[in-house]
A and B are shown apart, each in its own frame.
Chain A
Amino acid sequence: MRQLIQLRINGQAYEEEAEPRMLLAFFLRETIGLTGTHVGCVVGECGACSILLDGRVVKSCLLFAVQANGKEITTVEGLAQDGELSPIQEAFVKHYALQCGYCTSGMLLASHALLTRNPDSSEEEIRRGLAGNLCMCTGYTQIVDAVKAVAGEYKKG
Chain B
Amino acid sequence: MTETRYIGKRIRSKEGPRHVSGGGQFVDDVSLPGMLHAVVLRSSYAHARLGHIDTRAALEVPGVVAVLTSEEVKRRSRPFKPGRYSAGLRKPIPEYATAVDRVRYVGEPVAMVAARSRAVAEDALDLISVKYEPLPAVVDPWEAMEPAAPLLFDELDSNVAWKGAVSYGDVDEAFQSADQIVREKLKIHRYSSTPLESLACLASFDDASRKLTVWCNGQNPEVIYDALGEALDVQDVRVILPDIGGGFGQKIHLIRKYVVLTGLMSVKTGRPVKWIEDRTEHMMAAGQSCGMEFDIEAAVKKDGTVLGLKIQEVDDVGGAVSTLTIHFTNKLNNLFSTYKVKNLRLEGRSVVTNKCPVVPNRGIGKPSMCFIWERMMDRVAQELGMSPVEVRLQNLVPTREFPYTAPNGNLYDSGDYTRLLERAVEKLEYEKLRKELKQKREKGKCLGVGLVIGLEPGGRNAARDMAIFPNVKELPGAGGVEGATIKLERNGSVTVFLGAPSCGQFHETTTAQVVAENLGLSPDHISVAPRYDSEVSPWGVASSNTGNNFHLYDIGAVHGASLKLREKVLQLSAHLLESSPEKLTIEEGTVTIKGSSHKTLTFKELGKIAYGNQSLIPEGLEAGLQTTYYYKFPHAQPFMVPDEEGRVRAQFTFSAAAHGAVVEIDTETGRVKVVRYIIVSDNGTIINPDVVDGQIYGSVAHGISVALGEGFVYDSDGQLLTVTLTDYAKPTACETPRVEIEHIPVPSPFSVLGQKAAGEGAAIPSPAAIASAVEDALQPFGIKIRELPLSPEVVWGLIRQGER
Contact = CB atoms under 8 A, between A and B. Distances in A.
A139 B701 contact: yes
B504 A137 contact: yes
Query: Size range of the interface on B?
Result: 35 or more
Given A96-B691, A98-B16, A76 B726 contact: no
A30 B786 CA distance: 50
Nearest to A91: B20
Given A40-B198, A46-B196, A96-B16, A136 B694 contact: no
Interface in A129-157: 130-144
Contacts of B21: 36, 76-77, 79-80, 85, 89
Interface string B250-274: 0000000000000000000000000
B115 to A, nearest CB: 14
B622 interface: no
A75 B20 contact: no
Interface stretch (B485-493, B630-638, B730-738, B777-785): B730-738
Contacts of B732: 127, 130-134, 140
A136 B248 contact: yes
B245 A38 contact: yes
Interface string A22-63: 100000010000111111111101101000000000000000
Interface string B709-725: 00000000000000011
A84 to B, nearest CB: 11
A41 B12 CA distance: 31
A58 to B, nearest CB: 17
Interface string B222-246: 0000000000000000000001111
A22 B119 CA distance: 8
B12 A93 contact: yes
A108 interface: yes
Given A43-B279, A140-B701, A100 B739 contact: no
Contacts of A29: 28-29
A57 B736 CA distance: 22
Contacts of A40: 196-198, 245, 279
B507 to A, nearest CB: 11
Contacts of B693: 96, 142
B246 A137 contact: yes
A91 B733 CA distance: 18
Interface in B642-672: none
A128 to B, nearest CB: 6
A132 B726 CA distance: 11
A85 B12 CA distance: 14
Nearest to B23: A36
Contact of A41 (B19, B22, B725): B725
Contacts of B699: 139
B20 A102 contact: no
Contacts of B503: 100
Contact of A34 (B22, B195, B724, B734): B22
Query: Size range of the interface on A?
Result: 35 or more
B274 to A, nearest CB: 11
A102 B12 contact: no
A45 B20 contact: no
Given A100-B245, A105-B22, A141-B739, A43 B697 contact: no
A94 interface: yes
B8 interface: no
A143 B702 CA distance: 16
B197 A142 contact: no
Nearest to B243: A101
B197 A38 contact: yes
A99 interface: yes
A65 interface: no
Contact of A100 (B28, B244, B697): B244
A131 B22 contact: no
A143 B19 CA distance: 14
Nearest to B245: A102
B295 interface: no
Given A35-B29, A41-B279, A127 B697 contact: no
Contacts of A102: 24, 26, 195-197, 245-246, 504
B15 interface: yes
A6 B725 CA distance: 34
A43 B198 CA distance: 14
B738 A101 contact: no
Nearest to A132: B732
A101 B245 contact: yes
B204 interface: no
Contacts of B244: 100
Contact of A135 (B19, B196, B197): B196
Nearest to B15: A101
Which of A40, A89, A99, A140: most chain B CB closer than 10 A?
Answer: A99
8 contacts: A35-B28, A99-B694, A100-B246, A100-B503, A134-B196, A139-B697, A139-B699, A140-B701
Interface of A: 19, 21-22, 29, 34-43, 45-46, 48, 75-77, 79-80, 85, 89, 92-96, 98-105, 108, 123, 126-128, 130-144
